[in-house]
Structure 1
Amino acid sequence: MRTDRRNFMKATLGAAAAAAAPYGFVKSINQAWGAQSWIKKGEPIKVGLLFSLTGGLAVPEEDSTLVMQYAIDEINKSGGIAGQPIEPVIVDAKSDFNVYSEKTKELILRNRVVAIFGCYTSASRKAILPTVMAQNHLLYYPTCYEGAECTQNTICTGPLANQHSKDLIPFMVQQFGKKVFFVGSNYVWPKESNKNAKVWLQQAGGELLGEEYIPLGSSEFGPVLNKIREAKPNFIFSTVVGASDIAFHKQFKQEGFKVDSMPIASLTTGEIETRAMGNEYGAGHFLSAPYFQGLDNPTNHKFVESFLKSKYGKNGVTHYNMEETYLSAYVFKYGLEKAIAKVGVEEVTPRAIRDNTGGIKVEDAVSPEGLIWIDDQNFNTWLKPKIGQCQADGSFKIVKSSAEHVAPDPYSIYPDLGKCTADGLKAADGKVRKGVI
């Protein structure tokens, strides 16, 4: 009987070990007992690319996937990271927030990627963050967002509202007049961005005539344009995204609106959207972004030429979202190199990369938009905001550029809520709340 029991226990433990084998078991003072190393010495470093290649968000997000592959190839050709190549695990999120969430779990638990690069909308980011935070993992969010968020698991290489609409709104008021109409896609980023824009508009002495939101992915703007026609604003402030953005600009022109008397000022309509809609529909409108394809510096000239000649440059342009995604690859590289130097390859965790990323710089020689760096408290990016006007050929002429880097401020219009620090959201009473989303 004892022999049978002993054999049963051995068989049970063996089966359990076999079931767990794909995830590996190691002992480590830096990782929980039983956890597999995220990176194994001599093996590829796996990262997840979680963008939409199909659906309404594919217009900007396909290019994010392409430019990440380009950056990974570039890094690998120069020796990889600590002599090990990066291996992308590419996922099509299909412009579906449920797919973003499901695939995040797969990337972390099944594919064992050490970091995820992904999302273009705040709705998709918020769909995956609970999983990222529960696993103490790491998301590189490479585009603009509204702020009012303080997690310890996100690194953002795009602009916040105080680096975006804070310049654009007063510029448009000064150039075209005080009356404005807001149009946005119906989800968290446009609505929260417009809360910021209202503050800047009030400070500029402007007047909000109307505010409309259309379903994400919708292409019907007739009713909204009728309201705009009645209101007669001096300009339109747009936070419409993806395929909807293209439809909005096309219908604006088709309905007889004139760009010289009522331009659209956007936070999203760059070179890729203009190319997709046709240059004639983008010409004359405005965009606020830290990067434009036409930036005149040696690094950008090299980036544009090399990328467009590569197998990844099939869409024919570069734009702000691509460049911010490209920067995130180098922020990852430099942060991982620091983490490896401190703890060794097999002791690196996603959180260790994040903790070694504060203060990381991407210098002029690498960054197409020029020097940027990661804030050591809120892990967003110091950058120089710019405003461009779309030209007849689809390029953008820079009409305003910040002379100095602007600090990212996630709570710029909510100072009473506290300050985002490396440990969490710190309130006036000194209490710190972690993982605020």
Structure 2
Amino acid sequence: MNEKVSDQTVKIGVLLPFSGPIGLWGNSCEACSILAAAELNSYRGILDYKVELEFIDASVAPSAVAKEVSAKVHSGEISALVGTHTSDIRKEVAHAIRGRVPYIYTPMYEGGDQCTGMFLTGLTTEQSVLPTLEWLCINVKSQRWFFVGSDYVWPAKTHSSAIDFLHSRHRQVVANELLPLHCKDFSSTLDRIEQEKPDVVFINLLGEGSIDFNRQFAQRGLDTQIIRYCSAIEENMLYAIGNENSRNLFSSMGYFEGLDTNEAKSFNKLYYNNFGELAPGLNQISVSSYEGIMLLADLAERSQSLLTNDIEKTSMSAVNFHSPRGEITLLNKNVQADVFIVQAKDNGFVPLHRVGY
């Protein structure tokens, strides 16, 4: 460890899902968080303090997560938060801590939150989904659309914005279904898809739900004629879905492991050199955990403080920082970054189009 780092520590609470519908992302998020802390501590930590991480399970009820986090913040046990979890937990935690410590929220989300002390590195529906819908409207047969998602704030709000957008492009939305988070059997929805014969199915099911749906969709042979667009599907999910079930499957995010960019290739090398070839696979969700910790350190360095008010003042101007996605900009506490539209092929993703910000 570099001698510049103090023996004193600054503890960051890292909220990650380790079970439930999105538990498949927990291990890779944890590894990327550990990598970020090690990278910071190899130089000067955060403001010359050694970075220590405390992992908090964000798989339980939002109220329980908020209660645990609030107690740790109130006692001074943690000085900042980085969260990679669902939006309902974000809302509960933000309400509970009321800006007492900086809170970096990293996944894609529905947009709109501007709470004191919260900084969002994930792309919004407007930044990621709507440009992809525009591209699909131009490049594939896309007159009739069928929406299916989890009954939860992010899919619900995303669907609302996306439906308005498609109507403005004179497309028809034939169905909009929101299903329970733990749904495993999609027979009735697939029956309706067979009946409606849409050109595109827009899928916003979380984690394991998306895996099960896509398998069942392909097993019915629907993948031969119907396009699928999944706005939150990444490498781990694609592998679980199976190459044989991934025909005509599209996605869009700011990072994919197979991107041929210098930033992505450099980060991939760093990650696997540290954790080995059998490490949990990289994806946009896990990389966002790394970015969240590195952004926190960047904001603290610029502010020379970890106090919320000081970091808020710093973030009033555009903050540019480097990440595995390339150079991205934090403006008004939200990130601006490029989006890659991809298609599944041979257990990976082939980039088709890059949307610049």
The TM-score with structure 2 as length reference comes to 0.92
The TM-score with structure 1 as length reference comes to 0.76
Q: Distance in 2 between matches of 1:245 and 1:354?
A: 37
Deviation at 1:353, TM superposition (A): 2.6
C-alpha contact (below 8 Å) 1:334/1:357 kept by paired residues: no
C-alpha contact (below 8 Å) 2:104/2:118 kept by paired residues: yes
**Structure with the larger strand share:** 2
1:326 and 2:290 aligned: yes
Q: Distance in 1 between matches of 2:75 and 2:155?
A: 34
Write the letter of the residue equivalent to 2:189.
V
Deviation at 1:141, TM superposition (A): 0.8
- Runs (5+) with no aligned partner, structure 2: 1-5
Tell me the residue number matched to 2:167: 202
C-alpha contact (below 8 Å) 2:84/2:289 kept by paired residues: no
Tell me the residue number matched to 2:22: 57
Question: Structure 1 138/232 Cα, relative in aligned 2: closer, same or farther at 3 Å?
Answer: same
C-alpha contact (below 8 Å) 2:186/2:213 kept by paired residues: yes
1:373 and 2:326 aligned: no
Tell me the residue number matched to 1:354: 312
Tell me the residue number matched to 2:343: 389
Question: Structure 1 101/383 Cα, relative in aligned 2: closer, same or farther at 3 Å?
Answer: same
Deviation at 1:268, TM superposition (A): 0.6
Deviation at 1:61, TM superposition (A): 3.4
Question: Structure 1 242/298 Cα, relative in aligned 2: closer, same or farther at 3 Å?
Answer: same
Question: Structure 1 335/212 Cα, relative in aligned 2: closer, same or farther at 3 Å?
Answer: same
Map 1:178-197; keep pairs closer than 5 Å.
Answer: 178-197=143-162
1:339 and 2:303 aligned: yes
1:116 and 2:81 aligned: yes
Q: Distance in 2 between matches of 1:57 and 1:195?
A: 23
Tell me the residue number matched to 1:309: 273
Question: Structure 1 75/280 Cα, relative in aligned 2: closer, same or farther at 3 Å?
Answer: farther
Map 1:202-351; keep pairs closer than 5 Å.
Answer: 202-258=167-223, 260-311=224-275, 314-340=278-304, 348-351=306-309
Question: Structure 1 315/209 Cα, relative in aligned 2: closer, same or farther at 3 Å?
Answer: farther
Tell me the residue number matched to 1:417: none
Q: Distance in 2 between matches of 1:229 and 1:60?
A: 31
Tell me the residue number matched to 1:408: none
Deviations 1:239-287 (A, max 9, x none): 11121111111111122212x4212101111112112333333343111
Percent of residue pairs identical: 22
Secondary structure of the structure 2 residue equivalent to 1:129: helix
Q: Distance in 2 between matches of 1:125 and 1:213?
A: 21
C-alpha contact (below 8 Å) 2:58/2:85 kept by paired residues: no
The one of 102, 107, 114 aligned to 2:72: 107
Q: Distance in 2 between matches of 1:279 and 1:309?
A: 27
Larger Rg, first or second structure (1 or 2): 1
C-alpha contact (below 8 Å) 1:137/1:351 kept by paired residues: no
Q: Distance in 1 between matches of 2:247 and 2:353?
A: 17
Give the paired residue count: 351
- Runs (5+) with no aligned partner, structure 1: 1-40, 406-437
Q: After TM superposition, where is structure 1 displaced by more than 6 Å over at least 4 residues in a row?
A: none
